[in-house]
Amino acid sequence: MIRSLRLQPEAAGLGMTSQRVRDRLIERLREAGIVDEDVLNVMRVLPRHLFIDEALASRAYEDNALPIGHGQTISQPWVVARMTEAVLRHDDPRKVLEIGTGSGYQAAILAALGLEVYTVERIGDLLRQARKRFRQLGLSLRSKHDDGRIGWPEHGPYDAILITAAAPALVDALIDQLAPGGRLIAPVGSAGEQTLVQLVHAADGGIEQTALAPVVFVPLLAGTLD
């Protein structure tokens, strides 16, 4: 088991948002069906308000996606919780690849759970801000500025791959970077009708796909931006 919380204790106290407000979000997540105590615990401790603009900080512990600039959003806490739960259902998850770093919140949650995290973002400015947050929280993870549709084959295969932007179909190059027993969790579909899908690459070579929930994500786009 590697699910120890690796967050530096002082990081938990950063900022001015009260623990009571954060605890209320955790209760909401529980009511909305999140059951994994490790997921609930890391989301209680990791300060989400550090991942958004100060002007929106007072809304950080509502269960909503929020704008982070460049037309992108930090995912809704329930979606982050659901995707993280799916990763932890793997027998022994170690190495995880995320496509779409955005604010860095989802990647930070995975790293704080003790996972070895690789994350790829196509917008350079967002990635620079996310890296600053990782440093501030004392979290070490690997990130690169690239079109994540090609994955990060040099470090694969991965026990889990999370795509945090939606495409009309699952990307084959990413499925190929799953280890035996690995799982890909991604929103699939066009705007207004997306489904969070889990694809498990069974150790015997079989592939099993299940729909987890209806979701709303920004689109997975080609190329990079500074």
Which residues are identified as catalytic? 75
On whether the CB atoms of residues 43 and 30 are closer than 8 A, the answer is no
Binding residue for ligand SAH (CB under 6 A) from 129, 143, 164, 194? 164
Our finding on whether 197 is near ligand SAH (CB under 6 A) is no
Tokens of 93: 């998850």
Number of Cβ within a 10 Å radius of residue 212: 16
Q: Among residues 93, 121, 92, 91, which one has the least CA distance to residue 106?
A: 121
Q: How far is CA 194 from CA 15, 144, 157, 189, 201, in A?
A: 34, 26, 26, 4, 22
Our finding on whether 221 is near ligand SAH (CB under 6 A) is yes
Beta strand extents in the chain (DSSP E only) = 66-69, 72-74, 95-99, 116-121, 142-145, 158-163, 178-190, 193-201, 207-215
Binding residue for ligand SAH (CB under 6 A) from 34, 66, 123, 161? 123
Our finding on whether 96 is near ligand SAH (CB under 6 A) is no
Our finding on whether 187 is near ligand SAH (CB under 6 A) is no
Our finding on whether 113 is near ligand SAH (CB under 6 A) is no
Our finding on whether 121 is near ligand SAH (CB under 6 A) is yes
Tokens of 48: 């989400």
Tokens of 193: 């009708």
Strands 95-99 and 72-74: unpaired
Site for ligand SAH in 3-32 (CB under 6 A): none
Least Å from the CB of residue 72 to ligand SAH: 4
Our finding on whether 218 is near ligand SAH (CB under 6 A) is yes
CB closer to ligand SAH, 128 vs 180: 128
On whether the CB atoms of residues 105 and 49 are closer than 8 A, the answer is no
Give the whole-angstrom CA distance, residue 170 versus residue 60. 30
Our finding on whether 99 is near ligand SAH (CB under 6 A) is yes
Site for ligand SAH in 55-74 (CB under 6 A): 72-74
Give the whole-angstrom CA distance, residue 61 versus residue 161. 26
CB closer to ligand SAH, 50 vs 179: 50
Which stretch in 8-16, 20-28, 41-49, 94-102 sits in contact with ligand SAH by CB under 6 A?
Answer: 94-102
Our finding on whether 100 is near ligand SAH (CB under 6 A) is yes
Find residue 197's DSSP bridge partners: 186, 211
How many residues line the site for ligand SAH (CB under 6 A)?
Answer: 23
Positions that interact with ligand SAH (CB under 6 A): 72-75, 99-100, 102-103, 105-106, 120-123, 126, 147-149, 164-165, 218, 220-221
